[in-house]
A and B are shown apart, each in its own frame.
Chain A
Amino acid sequence: MGLDNAWWWEMAADDKLGIQRCQGCQTLRHPPRPMCGDCHSLEWDTVEASGKGSICSYTVLRHPQFPGYEYPLVIVLVDLEEGTRVTSQLVGCEPEDVDFGLQVEMLIQRDPDGFKLPVFKLAGNA
């Protein structure tokens, strides 16, 4: 973690999905970076995302299998309703059930070591 992204993980630790917002032109951006590429402002704050979005793309990872992950891993690229995209994991979903365009909702997953990670589930699923 560095000075440009630590805040995002701190928001996740607080159970929130953060999006960086330029204070100069109000443009949302992700992944975070220190300057707005549109208006070049260095000033920014954050908004809390609703956590709702749809699946832009996905992949199912099967090999190689690294320690600390449960395979197969369903990885999704989510179009958030705020307009930015985020890469994450789809949990509670069998690989054959994932598809383009499905609605998803964010939840916070807590690792055994206490680290909190924003992940997604299919909308409406428990």
Chain B
Amino acid sequence: MPISLKDEAAIAGIGLTDFSKQSGVSELSLAVQCIKSACDDAGISPGEIDGLVTYTLDSSDEVEVARAVGAGDLSFFSQINYGGGAAVGTIAQAAMAVATGQATNVVCYRAMNGRSGKRMGQGVSGDISSSDLIHWSWYTPYGMLIPGSWIAMVANKYMHRYGVTREDLGRVAMSQRNHALRNPRAYGYGKPLTMEQYLNSKQIAEPLCIYDFCQETDGACAIMVTSAERARDLKQKPAIIRAVTQASSRGQEQMTSYYRDELISLPEMELAAKRIYDMSGLGPNDIDAACLYDAFTSEIIMQLESFGFCGAGEGKYLVREGALDIDGRLPNNTHGGLISEGYIHGMNNIAEGVRLIRCDSTSQPEKLVEHVLVSSGVGVPTGAMILGRC
């Protein structure tokens, strides 16, 4: 009998550093600060950590982190590839480790000087030898060096096919900025965004302008995963992992899945949706709020379709009726998201999913939030999960 991950594990603690454009400290320092903070939040001593999971892109290796934070003996450590596609994948690894007894207290972390150090927006470079770098070599000679350039090709086709306008993308950006106005951690705190500003802003990779892009941020975020049973006895109200999965579909590339039949949908997200709905026994109507991965605004509208909140091409209508707003059908990225809080590669979106379950978001919807959907990077091998109340 296979082990289902339904309700096996829970998020017992979250920890974040300050977010800035120049942290002035090492990424390892950011990592241990957020992990200590997650331990304090959960009421678990760092010495009880026996599992660590991070991104292959993270510069702070597990053993360096373990030594610096004073973790215990480690029985589980793992790294997930594909940039922001790793976010929920780290939780999937942790949940599996907990459910199978490989570890008891697993911390997932991402720590990055994403503005003052290595910037994702500064392009791909390096010797062309690995299969991954050969993949990039189809794009870099033509000047496609940054994530926005890769995503724009899909966004443009999608918008053309379904009549999605720049105003629709602007509505997504403004909705998340409005959430960020109430969040002191957020880049967008105290910085309102109007449609006029949006429409007159600098074009980066048409049809995407600067407000369609996520931030570049120095900061770190850690998530403490333990068994659902143990989490019930800890300090915080746990966010139960109702379902979690990774997902990559046939013909998948990293950011540039241009050679599949359709460019106007996200097959890997549809796979993630099917798996988490099957695993949890829940459906789109059971989801009260979301933290959909938002490196770019266009990705939000496409995901509304992938996860079944509407039909193909109908995401724009949900956005126009205010579904993503605090009083809408699906309040989304209530912290501001990667676009208006900060870009911690999706880990900060997971933290907000936990806050929504705990009822302590700075933009907590008035309705009871029973279930939150959280997704990983768009256009890459990805993943998704559903968090619920215990």
B-contacting residues of A (Cβ < 8 Å)? 1-2, 4-5, 30-31, 56-64, 66, 69, 73, 75, 77, 84-85, 87-89, 95, 100, 115, 117, 119
Contact = CB atoms under 8 A, between A and B. Distances in A.
B258 A62 contact: no
Contacts of A89: 142-143
A66 B134 contact: no
A119 B143 CA distance: 12
Interface in B107-143: 121-123, 128-129, 131, 134-135, 137-139, 141-143
B134 A4 contact: yes
19 contacts: A1-B137, A4-B131, A57-B153, A57-B258, A59-B156, A59-B207, A61-B149, A61-B152, A61-B204, A61-B206, A62-B204, A63-B204, A64-B122, A75-B142, A75-B144, A77-B258, A85-B258, A95-B206, A119-B142
Nearest to B141: A117
B154 interface: yes
Contacts of A75: 142-144, 149, 153
A1 B141 contact: no
Nearest to B208: A59
Contact of B203 (A31, A62, A73): A62
A30 B202 CA distance: 34
Contact of B256 (A61, A62, A87): A87
Nearest to B154: A57
B96 interface: no
Nearest to B264: A57
Contacts of A60: 203, 205-206
B263 interface: yes
B144 A31 contact: no
B114 to A, nearest CB: 16
Contacts of A115: 141
A92 to B, nearest CB: 15
A95 B144 CA distance: 16
B157 interface: yes
Nearest to B125: A66
A100 B143 contact: no
Contacts of A84: 259
Residue with the greatest number of chain B CB neighbours at <10 A, chosen from A1, A4, A85, A87: A87
Nearest to B263: A57
Interface string B335-349: 000000000000000
Nearest to B144: A75
The 10 closest A-B pairs by CB, nearest first: A59-B152, A57-B157, A60-B206, A69-B143, A73-B143, A89-B142, A63-B204, A2-B134, A57-B153, A62-B203
B134 A5 contact: yes
A59 B206 contact: yes
A77 B160 CA distance: 14
B44 interface: no
A77 B207 CA distance: 15
Contacts of A66: 123, 143, 145
A30 B259 contact: yes
A36 to B, nearest CB: 14
Nearest to A34: B131
Given A69-B143, A87-B258, A89-B143, A64 B128 contact: no
Interface string B228-260: 000000000000000000000000000010110
Contacts of A2: 128-129, 131, 134
Given A61-B149, A66-B123, A87-B138, 20 more contacts: A1-B137, A5-B137, A57-B154, A57-B156, A59-B149, A59-B153, A60-B203, A60-B205, A61-B144, A62-B205, A63-B203, A64-B122, A73-B143, A77-B157, A77-B258, A87-B139, A87-B144, A87-B258, A117-B141, A119-B142
A66 B125 CA distance: 12
B146 interface: yes
A88 B154 CA distance: 15
Contacts of B129: 2
Contact of B142 (A5, A57, A73): A73
Contacts of A85: 258-259
Given A1-B137, A63-B202, A77 B153 contact: yes
Nearest to A62: B203
A102 B153 CA distance: 16
A1 B128 contact: yes
Nearest to B129: A2
Interface centre among B123, B142, B156, B160 (most CB of A within 10 A): B142
A94 to B, nearest CB: 13
Contact of A87 (B123, B131, B142, B206): B142
